[in-house]
Amino acid sequence: MGAVFDRLDERLKPEVEESARQYERIRPALEAVTDDVTTRIRAIFADAELQPLFITGRTKTVDSFRDKASRMLEPDEPGGDPQLEFPHPLRDLHDLVGVRVIVALPHEVRDAAGLIKRRRNEFDVRSDREKDIGSVESGTYGYSSRHLNLRTRQNDVVRGYQETLAENIRVTGNYIFETQIRTILAHAWSEIEHDIRFKKVDPRAWSPYLDRQFTATAAMLEAVESTFEELHDRYLAVTGYWDTEGEGAVALDPDRIREIWQTLLPHVDRKADDDWGWAAELLAAHDLGTTTELAGLLDAEAITEVRKALDHRYSPGPDRLLDDMLLWRFGRAHIELTAGRDRQRQESLRRRLAQMDTYRAAKTPGTTAG
């Protein structure tokens, strides 16, 4: 027997045992319901842009049912008779059938829930809860998951299950089950926590240190998920820069140049109050006017080559690095187009170009910057 049932008041055990026997009898029919609703949830994502990592269904085991049916409420008054939290567990428990939708990133939890909730011809949403909201609002860390309680609509498989129940049960084809949506990291955390934290045989064999460590791991996982989410957003932004009919076609102005630079080269930043106007002037001198053209200029391999060629004594800021990248690509034309009559700038650019020529010649004889 389960640990919860073993601690149950002896006066309530016969009632719970009878419920468990009924559940054992009807469970095969309930497994058919599980298979059916899991298949229907999978079908929602068959042609969707969002593809979960995996979708599984499970029917609560008899032992797990018995333990949950054994939960007691606190007596209304000291010394009062014990009462069961779920006096009619076959009717009151909505997690006998469960579906899990596991996705990669936090924003996909929201997207998956939206897709499921829009399938109104099959499911009626009875409740929608985010399990981590309480911990966020209290400043703590814990279990993170989206839980939807869904009710089937006139489902024939459910009707078959309902016919196996007592005669006074209405055969409607409507049945409430739980769908959990979570990320793969939250799923791993919850599975390990459940096995260690909630399946403990004896509550005396528990240490506050374990609670503390589970809280710590939840905090670390949240930080990792936030980083993955940021990387995903940055990846979408960067790939968009190469869409010549979309984001890549957006014209360059100082604000757009700053946005692109901080996305591609966040480690080469400048003061927040600096003006990016000079960068726009440098690019315009070479008729570089679109997002894709700037993204192509700021090629990571080319930047590495420029750094090696010039062997900067100090890490260059955006203006200097952009100037060097244009000099690397356009050579003497960059000096002619941007130096004007500024002798000091002319000399600086010529000196840097000579360094680039020397570097290129050492790598590939006969090659210069222009």
Q: What does the pLDDT read at residue 203? A: 64
Question: Residue ranges of the alpha helices (H) in the chain?
Answer: 3-6, 13-44, 62-69, 89-92, 106-117, 133-138, 156-162, 184-193, 208-240, 254-264, 277-285, 291-297, 300-310, 318-330, 332-338, 343-363
Q: 83 pairs with which residues across the strands?
A: 73
Render pLDDT for 266-285 as a digit per residue (tens, 0 to 9).
Answer: 888 765 656 789 999 999 99
Average pLDDT, the chain: 89
Q: What is the pLDDT, as a whole number, of residue 228?
A: 94
pLDDT above 90 coverage of the chain, percent? 66
Burial letters for 78-105: b for 16+ Cβ neighbours within 10 Å, e otherwise?
eeeeeebebeebbeebbbbbbbbbbbbb
Q: Which residue has better confidence, 90 or 6?
A: 90
Instruction: Please give the pLDDT value at position 134.
Output: 47
Q: What is the pLDDT of residues 210-251, one digit of tens each?
A: 888 888 888 898 899 999 999 999 999 999 999 999 999 999
The pTM (predicted TM-score) of the whole model is: 0.80
pLDDT recorded at residue 361: 93
pLDDT tens-digit readout, 54-93? 999 999 999 999 989 998 887 777 777 888 889 999 888 9
3-class DSSP state of 18: helix
Residue 309 has pLDDT above 80, yes or no: yes
Task: List b or e across 243-275, with b for residues whose CB sees 16 or more CB atoms inside 10 angstroms.
Answer: eeeebbebebeeebbbebbebbeeebeeeeeee
Q: What pLDDT, on a 0 to 100 scale, did the predictor assign at position 369?
A: 55
Alpha carbons 349 and 285: distance in angstroms, whole number: 15
Which position has the token pair 């680039």? Answer: 356
Sign of CA dihedral 284, 290, 296, 300: positive
Which pLDDT belongs to residue 209?
Answer: 84
Query: Which DSSP symbol is given to 369?
Result: -
> Using an 8 Å Cβ cutoff, are 277 and 254 in contact?
yes
Q: Specify the pLDDT at position 268.
A: 86
% of the chain surpassing 70 pLDDT: 90
Please write the tens of the pLDDT for every residue from 116-131. 999 999 999 999 998 7
Which residue type does 64 have?
A: S
Confidence of residue 13 (pLDDT cuts 50, 70, 90): confident
pLDDT higher than 70, residue 262: yes
d(CA 113, CA 107): 10
| 195, two tokens | 């096995």
Give the tens place of pLDDT for each residue, 326-366.
999 999 999 999 999 999 999 999 999 999 999 999 988 76
Look at residue 201 and tell me whether its pLDDT is greater than 80.
no
Pairing of strands 83-84, 176-183: unpaired
Residue 186 has pLDDT above 70, yes or no: yes
| CB of 238 closer than 8 Å to CB of 263 | yes
